[in-house]
Chains A and B, each alone.
Chain A
Amino acid sequence: MTTTGYGGQQHELVDLAFDAMFIRTFRDRIITYWNEGAERLYGWTRKEAIGRQPAALLDSQYPIPLEQIERELETTGRWEGEIIQRRKDGHTITVRTRWGLQTDAAGEPQSILEINSDVSPEMHVADELSRSEERFSLLVSAVVDYAIFMLSLDGRVVSWNEGAQRIKGYSQDEAIGQHFSIFYRPEDVANGKPDWVLQQAIEHGRFEDEGWRIRKDGSQFWASVVVTALKDRSGVLRGFAKVTRDITDRRLAEQAREEDRDREAAQLRGDAERLAELERLKTEFLNLASHELRGPLAVVRGYNWMLRDKVLTIDDLPAITKVVEAKLAQIHLLVEQMLEAARLEADKLGLNQTTFDLRDLVLQQAQSFASVSDEHSIEVVQPDGPVMVSADSARVATVVANLIDNAIKYSPAAREVQVRIDNQEGYASVAVRDFGVGIAPEHMPLLFKRFSRLPTEQNITTAGTGLGLFLCREIARRHGGEIEVESSPDHGSEFTLRLPAVGAGS
């Protein structure tokens, strides 16, 4: 302050100062200047204050007598201290005061400038509050894992934090002022979800949600959101607080777990179905096998009883023993088939592979049938050179026997069965041809199916389990081969077994 004092620009600047400032004359303590800060601090306007004495207005209480202060002022030109004053509204305040002495050219004290600021405990609290507000704001702004921000009544962003920027991608400048529906997917906005969310928060005080939200770059994330309606002390809605967390990872993990569970459930269902099917097959199998055994058993037991009771004579024996042998062979075949089928089911069909000439095996089978069946002739056609295969000879014999047996069974009227052995394109083949009843086209799909017997009149009488051809095909396939059939009703059938050939074939 200069001695020229308080005119012009300096005056205006002082006036703008935040602190309370006033000037009073030294001797009679009349207020000659009162700034805006003083008006604010004390409540007395300029008009009310100028011309009055501070004591009347402010009722100041000093830590040491005023005269002592004024004497110090005259000496040093300065004084600082804490005083208690009263505002216009009666409130007492604690004030930090700094005094400066103005002197005239002769050094005579003229007036005192007081610069005062409120250091009351209430002010402390207010300061504390604003400092704690500051600290809180610091906390919120620094939290990085959660987007914590506020919305105005109409849903516009009014605050932002680090977490919000990290999660949503918008900077503070970009976010503030935007309507919060920019965080929602277009389809959700079209459905009115953002407004609905706010509505829920108003109705219930808060609203929790999980759902997809959109980042600044358009990518989606799975959010966990809490929206709280902010009301002031009188219950008036002032805005909303929103806390959002990105739980995309958790959701992806959840989805993966769900998929795993679904897969497992489907697998279990499949297993259950397979088990039920296996049970059914097992029952069918037991029924079929048991029933088919009764036929030949009746004959063997019957003739045995008749032998024991001497109903049969010596002369009957040749014919009877032949019949009994045939029936026992039937039982034997049945039992072997059942065992093979069981082995297949348990996947325990261990192939006993040796290398042998298919011609020898086929000839052997053909001969054994020829000796049993009087009515049929079995003709074998074979190439000159060996037809070598690497296979389970016992099982291949079963297949060939089965094919020849079928040929005989299903050509009751015709007498010829032709068996042709061949070797072509890396495969050895045995083709069994009969000229009997043949197979209807609609029955073809049933032919190789397990337990499936063709529903023909002949098959009412002709014995069979439905296992034969099924087993034959399985055996062929396990060797890397196949069984094929060609047939024409009333003209007969040809079944061909193919096996991979080994070594030099002709």
Chain B
Amino acid sequence: MFPVQECRFRVAERRAPIAKVLVVDDDLIVSEMYRLALSRAGHDVQVANDGVAALESVSNSPPDIVFLDIRMPKKDGMEVLRDLAAADITRSMPVIMLSNYDEPGLVRESIRLGAKEYLVKAGTNPADLARLVSQWVDAA
């Protein structure tokens, strides 16, 4: 028989492991909002504001999960996704699309290229990002 107090501690806290998250969005205000939400959830967040910077960040400091916008300068999200899917190192990296476009063609193409989910920003609670991190990073 364990002391009652010990049991309480053991049940009380179950925290997700800290993940390395890359948030990619050209809108500074949007990327900052997601960064804030994810870091308040306890994760280590990197931000990139265009496709080229995104790929650089992936290679310099490989994240556990990527949240990827589509409309960006220099290289758009679909191209980044294609590049990630093409390389062995990054193929299995979970990518979640985060866009305000919702054309069925884009959704299909992203899933086909290996994205795990496709979210529309205007309908997404930033807290959902942390939930997705738990879901996909644990699974890996």
Contacts and interface: CB of A to CB of B under 8 A. Distances in A.
Interface string A275-316: 000000000000000010111011101110110010100001
A457 B73 contact: yes
Nearest to B33: A302
B44 interface: no
A305 B122 CA distance: 12
B133 to A, nearest CB: 15
Interface stretch (B11-19, B82-90, B105-113, B123-131): B123-131
A323 B29 CA distance: 8
A351 B63 CA distance: 57
- Count class of interface residues, chain B: 20 to 34
A372 interface: no
Contacts, number: 62
A305 B33 CA distance: 11
A76 interface: no
B75 to A, nearest CB: 11
Given A294-B100, A306-B37, A460-B73, A299 B127 contact: no
A298 B37 contact: no
Contacts of B40: 311
B126 A294 contact: no
Contacts of B120: 294
A311 B29 contact: no
Contacts of A299: 29-30, 33
A379 to B, nearest CB: 26
A91 to B, nearest CB: 108
Interface string A475-497: 00000000000000000000000
B30 A460 contact: no
Nearest to A311: B40
B100 A291 contact: yes
A459 to B, nearest CB: 9
Contact of B121 (A294, A323, A461): A294
Contacts of B29: 299, 323, 327
Contacts of B33: 299, 302-303, 306
B27 A461 contact: yes
Interface in A400-434: none
Interface residues of A, number: 21
B124 A460 contact: no
Given A305-B126, A306-B126, A298 B100 contact: yes
A298 B30 contact: yes
Interface in A448-506: 457-458, 460-461
Contacts of B73: 457-458, 460-461
A378 to B, nearest CB: 22
Contacts of A323: 29
B100 A302 contact: no
A316 B35 CA distance: 14
A79 to B, nearest CB: 125
A409 to B, nearest CB: 14
Contacts of A302: 30, 33-34, 37, 121, 124-126
B71 interface: yes
Contacts of A295: 27, 30, 100, 121-122
A135 B95 CA distance: 109
A301 B74 CA distance: 28
B11 to A, nearest CB: 23
Interface in A82-120: none
Contacts of B100: 291, 294-295, 298
A305 B27 CA distance: 19
Interface string B41-81: 00000000000000000000000000000011110000000
A299 B30 CA distance: 6
Choose among A291, A298, A303, A316 the residue with the greatest number of B CB atoms under 10 Å from its CB.
Answer: A298
A305 B120 CA distance: 15
- Which 10 pairs show the lowest CB-CB distances between chains A and B? A298-B121, A294-B100, A294-B122, A457-B73, A461-B26, A305-B125, A298-B122, A297-B122, A460-B73, A302-B126
Interface of A: 291, 293-295, 297-299, 301-303, 305-306, 309, 311, 316, 323, 327, 457-458, 460-461
Given A295-B27, A301-B123, A302-B34, 15 more contacts: A291-B101, A295-B30, A298-B30, A298-B121, A298-B124, A302-B37, A305-B127, A306-B33, A306-B36, A309-B125, A311-B36, A311-B37, A316-B36, A457-B73, A460-B73
23 contacts: A291-B100, A294-B120, A294-B121, A294-B122, A295-B27, A295-B100, A295-B122, A298-B121, A298-B124, A299-B29, A301-B123, A302-B124, A302-B126, A303-B33, A305-B126, A309-B127, A311-B40, A311-B127, A316-B36, A327-B29, A457-B73, A457-B74, A460-B72
